[in-house]
Chain A
Amino acid sequence: MAKLPGWKDLSLGIAITDAGNAKEYRTGDWRSMRPVTDESKCISCGWCWLLCPDHSRQPFPRKSPKADCPFDDFYDVDEYYCKGCGICAAECPTGAIKMVPEVGQ
């Protein structure tokens, strides 16, 4: 995370004067469970992308093509934002996603 401002650095009325800076807030720090995706099971349906409350499911290039799937990308986690809620794992129609504890992995 960027350096935290002191009280003298704050803008008047703590207004945020630079747009889009929420990007810098790494919500992935909050996570205790992490989704692990089995690329070979992912059919690129995008259901997890749609349902993830943190917009953390994103398309990534496949390491090897999947015979029964026409898409070059599969969906995996962007760990910078993923809070580990497990919604994607619960909703994935092919069971491609497994939640594993963050600690000791």
Chain B
Amino acid sequence: MSAEQANHKRIGMEVSFAVAEAVKMLEVEAIAAYPITPQTHIVEELSQMVADGDLDAEYIPVESEHSAMSACLGTSLAGARTYTATSSQGLALMNEVLFVASGLRLPIVMTIVNRSLSAPLSIWGDHSDIMSIRDVGWLQFFAENGQEAFDLTICAFKVAEDKRVLLPTGVNLDGFSVSHVVEPMLIPDPKLVRDFVPSYEPQLRADPADPVMIGPIGIPEIYTEAHMARDVALIQSRKLIDEVFADFEKVFGRRYHALESYRADDAEVIVMAMGGMAETAMGAVDTLRNEGIKAGLVHIRVWRPFPFDDLRAMLKNAELVLVIDRALCAGGPGGPVASEVRSALYPLEKRPQVACQIAGLSGRDVRALHIVQMLKRSMAQAEAGELPEYELHNVREVAQ
């Protein structure tokens, strides 16, 4: 079957429902979740599918996200293909269990519908939630639109469950601006999806017939080695991710990369963004090019494992890189993405300057025009040799 045939159905669908559809096609066997805005539509839809008998899974309604992830540990250890989704405070509440999932090497897949963290209480989208858990040892993907959210959910299971990886995987999509949008989407034949992702063969399993002890204490003599093993698995998953993305293209015709670019080959100034803002940035790049500024865009699809080598190769000829972050490392280097980009570029003999603007916090609108403004501002600052560590874009000083 050709990729065109595979994608014969282009239909309008809310992105949350499309993610639920992908989970259903993958015949997930266990879901434990607590509804939280803006993730709610995904798990509501899945619980409906289970209640209607359209999805033969165990749906565990829990009283908190801490329990949701704990239940996911249990079902994954029982050998079930396991899924959950969360946002913001829910992700924060899961924090300690997330480390257990990666330490135990359980291929749980979770959609993270990105949202800001309280206080002040905010339900709107930014990346504060995911950045607060970036070091938990999970693979982390970023989708920019509904099609990618659907596609990456499928890829996430295939990578996570591969015997050479066996790590939990998060798929990030922006709250509301992606999750609640109705998009025209290519929804493939479920059989193709099932053929693409083979059924899950658990490697570590709580089996009464073959007792093992799971989750023992890690004394000082073993803890470091355990972390080494997990870290190596995470770093080496890079190869598998590339393989899966290549296979995905063969079947479905769409190609993803750990790091992607737009008009960046000859660019002197490069904008970097993640999630939905990367799409907006394409418009900004076009505007800047029309003005004669050699601008380009580089966006990160795979945030963990961080694509250090690709990043160095892609940015090495640029003069200035502006990273637009949607989270703030308070009292630290500014934006988490900018911080990692700086760290990645440091070994280069000749490296671009890195500017960081923090924008789009709590769903505040960032349009192509704003990105153009931010880049021009950074270019002027760099020119004057006055590039600050970071700035919060468009902060009101006084009432207007």
Contacts and interface: CB of A to CB of B under 8 A. Distances in A.
Contact of A12 (B203, B211, B232): B203
A4 to B, nearest CB: 6
A62 to B, nearest CB: 38
Contacts of B218: 14
Nearest to B105: A13
Given A12-B166, A13-B106, A14-B222, A7 B213 contact: no
A19 B210 CA distance: 10
Contact of B222 (A4, A17, A19): A4
A16 B222 CA distance: 12
A70 interface: no
B170 to A, nearest CB: 18
Interface of B: 103-106, 166, 203-204, 211-214, 216, 218, 221-222, 224-226, 228-229, 232
A8 interface: yes
Nearest to B101: A13
A5 interface: yes
A14 B106 contact: no
A10 B204 contact: no
Interface in A1-33: 4-8, 10-17, 19
Nearest to A4: B221
B166 A14 contact: no
A45 to B, nearest CB: 34
A10 B106 CA distance: 16
A17 B221 contact: no
Contacts of B222: 4-5, 10, 14
A13 B214 contact: yes
